[in-house]
Structures are given as structure tokens and as C-alpha cells.
Amino acid sequence: MKRVFLTGASSGIGLAIAKLLVAEGHEVWGTSRNLERLPKTPRLHPIRLDLTDRDSIQEAFNSALAEAGYFDVLINNAGAGHFDPAELLPMETIASQFQILVFGQIQLMQLALRHMQARDKGLIINVSSLASRLPVPFMAAYNGAKAALAAFTMSIQLELGDSRVRIVDLQPANICTEFNQGVIQSAKTESRYDAKIAKTWKIVEHT
């Protein structure tokens, strides 16, 4: 039986992982911004987490760790997307994507690493994306953030080569989940982009 800290456990890939792990008998501390969205099931412990808030990240991990006693596995899965021309992306939007997809994940990695290094064992799985290597048009902030997470993960892999703590960069392709429904799009863009935006979004929606 493993004790797992899993972010983004209320939908999509995270929910599927949570259900699989508890079905296999593992204890999962699953996070969501809205605890009402987490399924009420034995061995799934709800933890509120807002990746845009550094204090929330620290509090969520520490409170879960106090309850669990230790973690064998951290799965950094939570995410968000934005679909718009890179030329028109506000800096606030880009910063938000990087906070959720990079800085928040790194903060959790650091918290978990200190704990796992002290125990001399553990596994961290960062769910980046194939988009880090094969970018999706009109998702430049998402692509860039996932590439940054992948590079950071590989850097830690090199640093911990002789450690019993393992780091995995998981790069799934587009999977048909509720994620696309939550991708933010601006109501208006420049007309020169309209046709390509419509064509690209149709492909994204149906893959």
C-alpha cells in the first residue's frame, strides 16, 4: 500500500488515477480547488489546493503530510489551459499559466523532495505534455509552461542520479477528458486568426 499526494484529482486524468489507485488499495490525498468536486470514497482524502497561491500550496502539502505521516509518491497532475493567439496573450494570462503549470508544481516538488530525501526513497511523477515537444497552435503559454516543467524535471533527474528518489516526466498526448471544456478562450480575437483558430480548435476538441 502506497501513500500518494495527487493534484487535480477531481476531473480528467487525475480523477482516473485517483479511482485506479484507491481501487488497488492505496491511500490517496487528492487535491482540488473545490472539494465538492472530489468523489467521496474510502481511501481518498480530500485536500483543498489552489496552485495560484503559494501559501495554499504549502498549507495543503503540510496538512496532508501531517495526516499521512509520509508520502511514497507525488503526482503533479493539476493543470489549466488557455487558447488564444500568442500575439494577443496578456502577460497576466501567461504568468497565470506558468504559476499553475510550472512554479506551483516546482514548489510541490521541492516540498516532496525534502521529505523523500530524508526517507531516502520516493517517486515524483510530473505530468507535463507532448505539447512540450510538439506545440499546439494558439496554446503558446501552455506549450511553453509544459516545456519548462519537462526541462526542470530532467534537470532534477540528472541531479538525483545516485538517489533512491525517482523523478518521472510523463508526457501524454491530447486525451479526451473534461480538460478541453475548461480551456479559456477570449471572446474576441483579431479577424485574421479566425479561420485558423476555428480549424485548430475543432481538431483539439475531437482528439
* Residues classed as catalytic: 142, 146
- Can you tell me the distance from the alpha carbon of 100 to that of 51, in angstroms, rounded to the nearest whole number? 5
Burial degree of 173 (CB within 10 A; 0-12, 13-18, 19+)? exposed
Residue 45's DSSP bridge partners are 29
